[in-house]
Structure 1
Amino acid sequence: MKPTGFFIDLHKALVIPVTVAAMVMFGNFSTVMWLYLGMHGTYSILWLIKGRTYPDRRFAEQVPIWIGGLFVFLPLAGYYAAPILLAWLHPNVPGWAVTLGVSSFTFGIFLHYVADAQKYFTLQVHPGLIETGLFARTRNPNYLGEIMTYMGYAIISWNWFPFVVNFAWIFGFFVRNMIKKDRSMSRHPGFAAYKARTGLLFPRILPVRALGTDRAPTET
């Protein structure tokens, strides 16, 4: 038995070796390839740091090794397609796509890690409900950030397949978890008002005065 987080961390830890191996195997040491390595490699190192400073308790669930390998690590391995295809095919990535990919990655990594930190440390002081910061206009800023981060990698890879992997994860994991989280949070006082003024994923743009004073629930 291993915690679910073990298999996720293993996937992150292998990002740099897999990307470097692809670079060597296909002889691709282009600027865009090094850029990809810096982006995805940095994200993975930050993930491992996050797991030891403000961990997600959901990933503490113990599962059999074969379950974790087959249903956690293997689906996550689909994300290795982006660096492998980029190294293999040597695409001529347009400058505008590089800019768009880096921008998506930067916004994504900010939303993901800042939202997770806000959630973790706020709940240490005031368990149960959060209404400020990144959770004020969207109920899932961390999921939005993770999606934007991986969209950045897909754009940089300049290949259609990483987009397929991303959308498979969005509809197979993220959307399911967001709906499940809403159901769990519905038991909290003030949830109906919070749901009405926030987006499930994308921030709902409203005047600040419309946010009210109800405390909005975060993940449970």
Structure 2
Amino acid sequence: MSQNMKQKHFIDMHKGATAPVILFLIYFYNQWENQTAWIYLALHGTYGILWVLKSQIFPDKTWEQPSNIWYGLYMWFGLTLYWVSPWIITSGYFSNGVAVQVPVWYSGICISMYSLGVFIHFTADMQKHTALKLRPRSLIHDGMFRYCRNINYFGEFLIYLGFSLLAMHWIPIAC
């Protein structure tokens, strides 16, 4: 089985598991009325779904590499650090058991960062996928890549910054 596994399988499974994990945290810490937890679920949960769809519709060749089970589990563990934010939000661990609830204006900033990040990340990945299909091994120097070689990573940075800032703690930023 592990001979047929690719890095993307582990990544996609993890990203797809994000919404159920966050729902479990909301349940476990009884945070059904916590608006910040629900906003986090909406953002990171939909990002997980969008990622899996993107992986199927216009896959990134980087993640098509074969992976053994040990490297796959190593990647899974690394990606699990992204679940620190919803744990901090729902558990209240760093605020004497009081769950994190951010002001509405702050939510708006985080949602805007996430939205802009999704646009940049997915638009750049689609352009890269299409351009390399039409002209393999060529340098892309127009559109989203006109001024920046790695604009898709800037999009991902904005996405994860939007998630991390909702926790109102430095640890998710460090992760």
Superposition TM-score, scaled by structure 1 size: 0.72
Q: CA RMSD in A?
A: 1.1
Higher-Rg structure is: 1
* Alignment length (residue pairs): 164
Identity %: 32
Does residue 78 (structure 1) correspond to residue 81 (structure 2)? The answer is yes
TM-fit CA distance, 1:129: 2.5
Structural mapping, 1:47-126, within 5 Å: 47-70=51-74, 72-89=75-92, 90-126=99-135
Q: Distance in 2 between matches of 1:86 and 1:45?
A: 21
Kindly indicate whether residue 47 of structure 2 is the aligned counterpart of residue 43 of structure 1: yes
Counterpart CA distance in 1 for 2:21 and 2:168 is: 18
Q: Which residue of 2 aligns with 1:201?
A: none
Deviation at 1:24, TM superposition (A): 0.3
> Are 2:27 and 1:24 aligned?
yes
CA distance in 1 between partners of 2:125 and 2:157 (Å): 14
Which segment is superposed worse, 119-128 or 15-24? 119-128
The 3-state SS of whatever aligns with 1:63 is coil
Query: What secondary structure is seen at the aligned counterpart in 2 of 1:45?
Result: helix
* More displaced stretch, 130-139 vs 93-102: 93-102
Contact map agreement 1:19 1:37 (CA 8 A) in 2: yes
Residue of structure 1 equivalent to 2:150: 140
Conserved? CA contact 2:25–2:87, under 8 Å: yes
Q: Which amino acid aligns with 2:21?
A: V
Structure 1 residue 122, shift from structure 2 partner = 1.5
- Equivalent positions of 1:120-199 (< 5 A) are 120-127=129-136, 128-165=138-175
Question: Is the 1:100–1:155 Cα contact (8 Å) retained in structure 2?
Answer: no
Q: Which runs of 5+ in 2 are unaligned?
A: 93-98
Contact 1:109 1:149 in 2 (8 A): yes
| Residue deviations 1:116-164 (CA, integer Å, cap 9, x gap) | 0000012222231222111001110111111110000011122221111
Take 2:113 and 2:147, find their aligned partners in 1: how far apart are those partners? 19
Conservation of the 8 A alpha-carbon contact between 2:36 and 2:100: no
